[in-house]
Structure 1
Amino acid sequence: MPVRPPSDVHHLLKAFEGRPAAVSASARDPVNLPMIRHWCEAMGDTHPAYTGEDAIAPPTMLQAWTMPGLSGGPGARTPAYEELFALLDGAGYTGVVATDCEQEYVRPLRPGDRPTFDTVIEAVSPRKTTRLGTGYFITTMMRVRVAGELVGTHRFRILKYAPATVPAPEPPREEPRPARPRPVINRDNAPFWAGVAEHKLLIQRCTACGTLRFPWLPGCGRCGSPEWGTVEACGSGTVHSYVVVHHPPFPAFDPPYAVVLVELAEGVRMISNITGVPHDAVRIGMSVELEFIRLDGGGELPVFRARADRPDGAES
């Protein structure tokens, strides 16, 4: 059902211009050093004029001395001011936001001063449309005195508005699960991935000294020979070490999950995933066996499944 826009009540609001919003109201507390100290600490203002026996109040505290507090105070608002707000609320302009203020300082306030103030409804704007909604700017002018002497003025402007209609958010779309990252294949490891495609786990073997190596490298780490052949792993191994990944999350992976360092029966070690067992049940020394998983969109990866006869005796 469409929301009916609030009516234009500017002709009624104009009658409030010039009427009092506060008359001979008194500050709830005299100007005092504790409030000055709290204000300066909150603002980070370390000016020496605001401390000591001859301290003055920061000029920008002018409005603070006139605030009625959460519980209100005598003379805080006149019936005219309350009527103005009731009219706006009843017409649908229920939102309120402060927009700006202008202050003039005639003389500084000092501890012991007891401010009094009078406030007038100075102006009501025609109806305006803002990003918050449609409404009226209400400007009040306050004159602050001490013992009848003018010490400062405070012009304050608010917007009373009818909150703009916010369209209902669209239901979240279910995003497709990101694809698992594909291995980087280059001239040094291409034969390894060719073996994986045939469900073979190939280990490099130096033809000069016979040393097995994994991961694949262009030369032997023991004798430096660039010549090599391959040995097909039997697929058996044990968990030499492991980590459980909780953070940060990576696309296509659901933490927590275990990443294992498997020592193959041939004596080399390989980092991989482990399947067939919860992440919190992986143990060092656990017996594993090779298997291959197919990736979405093609390709395969070698991983390791916990064996049913692993040392902890649990079933996979």
Structure 2
Amino acid sequence: MTYEDRLQAFVGRTITPRTPGQDPVNIPMIRHWVEAMGDPNPIYLADDAAKATGRPGVVAPASMAQAWTMRGYAASMDPAGAGPAQDLTALLAEGGYTSVVATDSDFDFVRELRPGDHVSAEEVVESISPEKTTALGAGRFVTSMRTYRDADSEVVATQRWRILRFRPKQATAPRPRPAINLDNQFWFEAANAHRLVIQRCADCATLRHPPGPCCPHCQSFAWDTVEASGRATLHSFVVAHHPKHPAFDYPLLIAVVDLAEGTRLVTNLVGVDAADVAIGMPLVLDWLDADADLTLPVFRPAQER
């Protein structure tokens, strides 16, 4: 069977069997949602307001349908939960389509959900496109239909969900720009001159990082800087493999380092393999000249210096 045949064999297949959400529709989650979305509609939290519109009581925002059935982080990391959806992801990765971006989502709402409703969802693959050339890279559009049901198996919503699984372009991309503002501009300007500085309170001499307008210890707004020695130890680290961004080399070592002066810094480790990294290892400062406008401090093992 060809690779294309193996992919198309998923069309029409249920990749997520009907699975109930972890919790029924409930007011606390609705409250978090509307606060995050800035939605002031009172029918979501006040019974009187909902009843005034002819509803029996509060209802959940329609767009929360998907939220009630999300598996959560722990379940997504459980190998026992692997199934057809993971099989399809693995097959796409086999073809080099290792990156993903959502392209569109079309909902059809049948009825409003109310507190106490227990929602379940199943997902069926509708189509997998031939390889397409996109701005992100060559990829395939995977379209599926999710059906949401209540405890009585009645359909409450459907969602046609389309994602692009793509092969990242290998061309070099500019490193993402940091968010520079009036409080941290001095730090990036010093870095561009290959100087690692630490903000210091001019009144109590407390060092602080990240930079900020006010000393957290004495609340003074007066400050100056001291230049770091460049010596550090590794406090913690992670090895990033995915999702990949063309501006970075992978595996990407992201670290929190303890500077000799006492503050911590989030940075990258260079000049070392992930297998050789150890918490507490001595580090020294190096510089990454990302481009003409951006230089960042990085650290390498002290013995490599």
Structure 2 residue aligned with 1:72: 75
Whether contact under 8 Å (1:25, 1:75) holds in the other structure is no
Separation (CA, whole Å) in 2 of partners of 1:12 and 1:114: 35
Match of 2:288 in 1: none
Aligned residue runs from structure 1 range 165-244, under 5 A? 165-167=170-172
Q: How many residues align?
A: 164
Letter in 2 for 1:83: D
Identity %: 46
Note if contact 1:139-1:155 (Cα within 8 Å) is conserved in structure 2.
yes
Structure with the higher helix share, 1 or 2:
2
Q: Equivalent residue of 2:157, what SS? A: strand
Q: Which amino acid aligns with 1:160?
A: R
Rounded Cα–Cα distance in structure 2 between residues aligned with 1:97 and 1:166:
19
Q: Distance in 1 between matches of 2:102 and 2:94?
A: 20
| Change in 2 beyond 3 A, CA 1:52/1:9 | same
For residues 45-194 of structure 1, the aligned pairs below 5 Å read: 45-53=39-47, 54-72=57-75, 79-146=83-150, 147-167=152-172
Once the two structures are TM-superposed, the CA of residue 154 in structure 1 deviates from its matched residue by: 1.1
Q: 1:76 to 1:59 in 2, by over 3 A?
A: farther
1:21 and 1:77 in contact (8 A); partners too: no
Please state how far the C-alpha of 1:168 moved relative to its aligned partner: 7.0
Deviations 1:35-92 (A, max 9, x none): 1011100111011110123110000111111111111269997622221111111221
- Tell me the SS of whatever aligns to 1:72: helix
- How far is 1:32 from its partner? 0.4
Query: Which whole-Å deviations, capped at 9, do the CAs of 1:188-237 have from their partners, x for residues lacking one?
Result: xxxxxxxxxxxxxxxxxxxxxxxxxxxxxxxxxxxxxxxxxxxxxxxxxx
Alignment of 1:34 with 2:28, yes or no, is yes
What are the superposed Cα offsets for residues 218-273 of structure 1, whole Å, 9 maximum, x if unpaired? Answer: xxxxxxxxxxxxxxxxxxxxxxxxxxxx9xx9xxxxxxxxxxxxxxxxxxxxxxxx
Alpha-carbon separation, structure 1, partners of 2:118 and 2:79 = 15
For structure 1, which runs of at least 5 residues remain unmatched after alignment?
Answer: 1-7, 170-245, 250-316
The one-letter amino acid paired with 1:164 is K
Please report the TM-score for the alignment, with normalisation by the length of structure 1: 0.49
SS of equivalent residue, structure 2 residue 9? helix
Is the 8 Å Cα contact of residues 16 and 84 (structure 2) preserved in structure 1? Answer: no
- Structure 2: 5+ residue stretches without partners: 48-56, 175-185, 190-305
**Which residue, 7, 10, 17 being the options, matches 1:16?**
10
Question: TM-score by structure 2 length?
Answer: 0.50
RMSD: 2.4
- Shift of residue 118, structure 1, vs aligned partner: 1.5
